Amino acid sequence: MKISDLFETDGNTMTLWHGGRGLEFSYHEMLPHKKGRWEHGPGLYLTTHYDTAAKYARGGGKVYSVTLKKGTEINQVDITLQEAIDFVKRYAIKRFQKNIIDDLEQVSYRDIQNRIRIGAVVNLCLNYDALRPASTVSLRQFLVKHGADYEISPRFGGRDETIVILFNPALIQKVKPVKASEVETTDYVKEI
């Protein structure tokens, strides 16, 4: 899948589904994630499948149609190894810092700048379970500061579903609660 396939005909926006509570009031905020609630990184989880969003909306939530403007995907962003190490030293739980830094040094590019994909910081913090919930906001801010707006994950759950983990809430153009009766059959699964 090409990233461009997610975008609407204007090439500058994409509309996806989200299931949750109060998004129309809080989408501009970066909220901390509860432990175990950020499997692919800290951010707002959006999906191409209405049914998935509806599952997360159960128990008093709503399904939202969320329109984003185009940004930069996490896999396109490199940072220096030192920037990654500085983040880990500041925000990762102390007992995991050495292991994460060792791993970062192993995957850094062997050039004069020792660069690394910013996604490696997210993956290692996830794999080591090295962030407290409050630090998930700091990780999102770090990602956005360095230009990573979202991550696109195709084939979510082994099926024909794509999720977008939005780090940068400033990309949100519109949030609209949508009832199931308002959804056209063709919109249950957003085409990519």
The CATH number assigned to the domain holding 25 equals 3.20.170
Quick one: 80 and 68 in the same domain? no
Quick one: 43 and 135 in the same domain? no
Quick one: 118 and 165 in the same domain? no
Quick one: 102 and 64 in the same domain? no
Closest listed residue to residue 187, CA positions, set 17, 3, 12: 17
Quick one: 123 and 135 in the same domain? yes
Quick one: 7 and 64 in the same domain? yes
Quick one: 137 and 156 in the same domain? no
Query: Is residue 2 very low, low, confident or very high in pLDDT (cuts 50, 70, 90)?
Result: very low
Q: What is the mean pLDDT of residues 74-102?
A: 96
pLDDT of residue 37: 54
User: Number of folded domains in the chain?
Assistant: 2
Residue 100 lies in a domain: yes
Query: Is residue 119 very low, low, confident or very high in pLDDT (cuts 50, 70, 90)?
Result: very high
Quick one: 68 and 85 in the same domain? no
Quick one: 139 and 88 in the same domain? yes
Residue 179 lies in a domain: yes
pLDDT of residue 179: 86
Residue 133 lies in a domain: yes
Q: Could you tell me the residue range of the domain that residue 47 belongs to?
A: 3-72+149-187
Quick one: 155 and 138 in the same domain? no
Helix axes 81-91, 118-127, angle to 10 degrees: 30
Count other Cβ atoms within 10 Å, centred on residue 79. 23
Q: What is the mean pLDDT of residues 55-79?
A: 93
> What gap in Å lies between CA 91 and CA 88, rounded to an integer?
5
Quick one: 48 and 95 in the same domain? no
Quick one: 82 and 101 in the same domain? yes
Residue 192 lies in a domain: no
Closest listed residue to residue 122, CA positions, set 179, 73, 64: 73
